Amino acid sequence: MGIKKYQNLLDRFVQKNIDLLGDNLIGIYLHGSAVTGCFNAEKSDIDLLTVVENDLSYETKKMYMDMTIEFNKEAPPKGMELSIVKEEFLKPFAYPTPYELHFSLMHLDWYRSNPNEYIEKMKGTDKDLAAHVTVIYHRGKTLYGKEIKEVFSPVGKKEYFDSLWHDIHNAKTDILNNPTYIILNLCRVLAYVKVCLVLSKKEGGEWGLMNVPEKYRTLITAALEEYQNDAKVSTDEEQAEEFAEYMLSEIEKDKEKISGK
């Protein structure tokens, strides 16, 4: 069923946003695996971006967080991940992008233990938003409000690449802790620097099977198998480290034509 299994959850979440934010709500946008055709309820989270016109008060943030945590109980195991961003920072796009509030499952315990501190500190800028907005602009879905092209301007190549690089520059270390994510992410980043493709992790892995040296194809195939199915696939650590080093060097070769550095 994919993301359709959670349509009722999304519909109710949208209505609660309308009730809580009122005229301040510009729109709610779905992105990530849910819009790129590779959502797996056991492995994927639900990625959302809420756009508002004005700052949110402390009281509104508190109500929003409490509401989100209730909905998160019905979400997939990896939960919901969302950011709230003011419209003025999206057209023209500001980078790093300021945000009003952010939530993901990894922050749940922090909020529960100290909600006041969470709300005070969970505001700043986030480089990851450039990658999220790029997916929204090219492939996202409007759940409520203004259409995507009315709210978002395209993210520059330099900013998008910097956002991607921020996520994978420690790949030689990170690949041992989270091989599937890093293997597929390296593939999609290389696809972007080589041929400017904006891909999901699954699509990145499929591109990698066709475009990286044959000796790494077993590694990529295993990552795709684990990403799309529930079975755990073992990864050869030595080969994984070699793969990360190779992919980073290939990305480095082409990044200057995008980053402008």
pLDDT digits (tens, 9 = 90+) for 149-208: 999 999 999 999 999 999 999 999 999 999 999 999 999 999 999 999 999 999 999 999
Say yes or no: domain 2-155 is CATH 3.30.460.10: yes
Identify the pLDDT of residue 2.
85
**What's the gap between Cα 205 and its chain centre?**
17
**111 in Cβ contact with 68 (< 8 Å):** no
pTM for the predicted model, two decimal places: 0.93
Identify the pLDDT of residue 257.
73
Identify the pLDDT of residue 175.
95
Domain boundaries, the chain: 2-155, 158-259
DSSP code per residue over the chain: -GGGGGHHHHHHHHHHHHHHHGGGEEEEEEETHHHHT---TTT--EEEEEEESSPPPHHHHHHHHHHHHHHHTTS-TT-EEEEEEEGGGBTTBPSSEEESEEE-GGGHHHHHH-HHHHHHHS-EEETHHHHHHHHHHHH-EEEEES-HHHH-PPPPHHHHHHHHHHHHTTHHHHHHHSHHHHHHHHHHHHHHHHH-----HHHHHHHHHHHS-GGGHHHHHHHHHHHHSSS-----HHHHHHHHHHHHHHHHHHHHHHH--
Q: 68-107 burial by CB neighbour count: b if 16+ within 10 A, else e?
A: bbebbeebbebbbbbbbbbbebbeebbbbbebbbbbeeee
Q: Which residues of the chain have pLDDT under 50?
A: 261
Whole-number Å distance between alpha carbons of 58 and 63: 9
Q: Which residues contact 189 (CB under 8 A, 6 or more apart)?
A: 164, 165, 168, 204, 247, 251
Longest Cα separation, the chain: 55
Rg (CA), the chain: 19
Identify the pLDDT of residue 259.
58
